[in-house]
Structure 1
Amino acid sequence: MQVLLLKEPRDGESGPDPYIKELASHGHKATLIPVLSFKFVSLNTLTDKIFQPEKHGGLIFTSPRAVEAVKMCIEERKEEWGSSVKDKWNTKSIYVVGKATAALVRGLGLNPVGEDTGTADVLSRVIIEREDTNIPPLFFPCGSIKREVLPTALRESGVPLETLTVYQTAEHPDLEKNLNNYFTEQGVPASIAFFSPSGVKFCLEVVRKLSRERLTQIKVCFPLSSYCVTGIRLSVSFAAIGPTTRDAMTAEGLCVSATAEKPTAEHLGAAIAKALQ
């Protein structure tokens, strides 16, 4: 069956996207359409902070894009980073959400903590358990539309935090054209998977417009367990990449029938395969 993945390609990996590969192993043909575009900002300020580890108690990364921003800053001062700065950061905690972000952080020579947490909500609890309130502020480079769950939780617990917006998120300039081409050439897919609240925000109205009266043929996927709310009922169950995305979809009146246990290609593939049986 046809599956539409509304997500960005995985950075730094050769071969097919792992989600496409995993769905193919279940006998489904997946197509990936990028949803978002990113613009890096405040890189001079970011460079200053990354090269002054003594002023912070640790680092927090909740997205691959934030790691990419740091990598851009390091490129300008590679020798200094490798000779001393990296090791100074490694005496502190480097917190991450997710395996993809953790892998990129390791690529910087840093040792991440928390890659199995899955969400910023869970990571915030890990940080609160591990950190004292008298440390220098943890440094959190983030995107322009980050959720406030982690900063709020840390501040309410007295864990000092400093944030810096290092990238801005916008709709991919070719999103509507690519979606229109897909629906024209392949019709309504058996399943549509959303991978972020931003993806829901930017895609849902376009998808509704293109599928219109056939919306009830579409299935909406989120990686977790079976889940459904009152709203627009989709005849094909789908999966979402996590509870935050699921909540964004249900807030739009969509009925989400399946969620992956963890936000990975394997768990999403299993959830979709089960829903399409």
Structure 2
Amino acid sequence: MEAPTPPILLLKTKSTPNDGYDEFFAQNNYTPTFIPVLEHHFHSTNLQSIHSLLTSGAFTPGSGRKYGGLIFTSQRAVEAFASVLEELDEPTSKHTRNLNIPIYTVGPATHRTLTSLILPYLPNATIHGKDTGNGQNLAHFILRHYNSLYTSSSTSTSSSSGGGGGDDTKPPLLFLVGEQRRDIIPKTLMDDGLPATERIGVEEVVVYETGVMRGFEEEFSGRVGRERAVMRRVIEEGDGEGWVTWVVVFSPTGGEGMLRGLGLLDNSQGQGQGQGRGGNEKVGEGEGQERRFFVATIGPTTRDYLRDEFGFEADVCAEKPSPEGVGKGIEGFMREWRAKRGL
């Protein structure tokens, strides 16, 4: 009988139709299990205002224009925007089909979604920034690209380059965001240290809100209990020398529930018991037994949140926010862990 593969608990909603984390870890001798942490709610009032902007000429060159383009940094914001576009009927969609505006996005996944989304509604829009990778890089890209559309030498042809449409005035960009977001893009584009002619106005509109999934902590705690039972059985059968369980955390949201589910949080004080890498020995099968549950974070923001809020130091922080980045961090940790045990 084939030996079972160790579990890895991924605290995210499984992407469809394919999930890169599922494919990567299944191919690398783990059994991935997804436990959704976040639930999203579209902000209907603000989305209605976006609908009004699109259909009232707020993006159309001329005296009534308010914005010169759009910024997206999350899939959820794109999904929210999609709900607006899908409500455009034939008469109102005529206002959007001739819009020649730049749309900025931070990565290839969002770029792909936008590309398929805008064709029926914004066929003349252009999408930029798919290789920037993060908000800081995207902001600097926007400074170069958007400003180039409003130089004195380009205004006469800007309509053919996805920009000003012949209007010399540089309008602000509209940034569709979630309730929780970093402000690196607005700060960079509107930095007082920039020459006034290079600054780019940014207006943020919250189009979705994010919270912890109801029942997440209970579901996670139940899964941890089941994995502990499997771990005991595997160890008792003599196949568990290198058996561990990994938990991968993708955002600060749900961090408290995750630590509580692992027994790493003092319920009365809200402080982590597992301070220092690999420091908590209570996560295994009881007092005095070796720790077999480990935590990896998708990046430094989540790592720092767990450290600053709860005094918990994650075992691994991915250098790159990708399946390969998480996998590389875990592989390095496990190499050291096995070496210490002579495995």
TM over 0.5: yes
Aligned partners of 2:276 and 2:313 also within 8 Å: yes
Write the letter of the residue equivalent to 2:107: G
Aligned partners of 1:46 and 1:166 also within 8 Å: no
Mapped to 1, the partners of 2:42 and 2:127 lie a distance apart of 23
Mapped to 2, the partners of 1:69 and 1:168 lie a distance apart of 11
Q: CA deviation at 1:96?
A: 1.0
> Tell me, what secondary structure is at the counterpart of 2:39?
strand
RMSD (CA atoms): 2.8
Q: Does 1:53 align with 2:59?
A: yes
Q: Does 1:70 align with 2:81?
A: yes
Alignment of 1:6-21 (within 5 A): 6-10=11-15, 13-15=16-18, 17-21=19-23
Give the TM-score, by structure 1 length.
0.80
Give the TM-score, by structure 2 length.
0.66
Write the letter of the residue equivalent to 2:14: P
Alignment of 1:33-48 (within 5 A): 33-41=35-43, 42-48=46-52
Instruction: Provide structure 1 residue ranges, at least 5 long, that are not aligned to the other structure.
Output: 216-230
Classify 1:86/1:254 alpha carbon distance in 2 versus 1 (closer, same or farther; 3 Å): farther
Mapped to 1, the partners of 2:143 and 2:302 lie a distance apart of 24
Write the letter of the residue equivalent to 1:4: L
> Tell me, what secondary structure is at the counterpart of 1:168?
strand
Corresponding residue number in structure 1 for 2:207: 166
Aligned partners of 1:46 and 1:73 also within 8 Å: yes
Q: 1:243 aligns with which of 295, 300, 303?
A: 300
Mapped to 1, the partners of 2:68 and 2:141 lie a distance apart of 15
Write the letter of the residue equivalent to 1:53: F
Mapped to 2, the partners of 1:149 and 1:213 lie a distance apart of 32
Mapped to 2, the partners of 1:128 and 1:166 lie a distance apart of 24
Q: CA deviation at 1:141?
A: 1.0
Partner deviation per Cα, 1:127-186 (whole Å, 9 max, x = no partner) = 223233852110111111111222222221421111111111111112112112211211
Mapped to 2, the partners of 1:111 and 1:274 lie a distance apart of 41
Q: CA deviation at 1:213?
A: 5.9
Corresponding residue number in structure 1 for 2:289: none
Aligned residues: 254
Corresponding residue number in structure 2 for 1:141: 176
Higher helix share: 1
Q: 2:277 aligns with which of 225, 230, 233?
A: 233
> Tell me, what secondary structure is at the counterpart of 1:53?
coil
Corresponding residue number in structure 1 for 2:219: 178
Q: CA deviation at 1:87?
A: 4.8
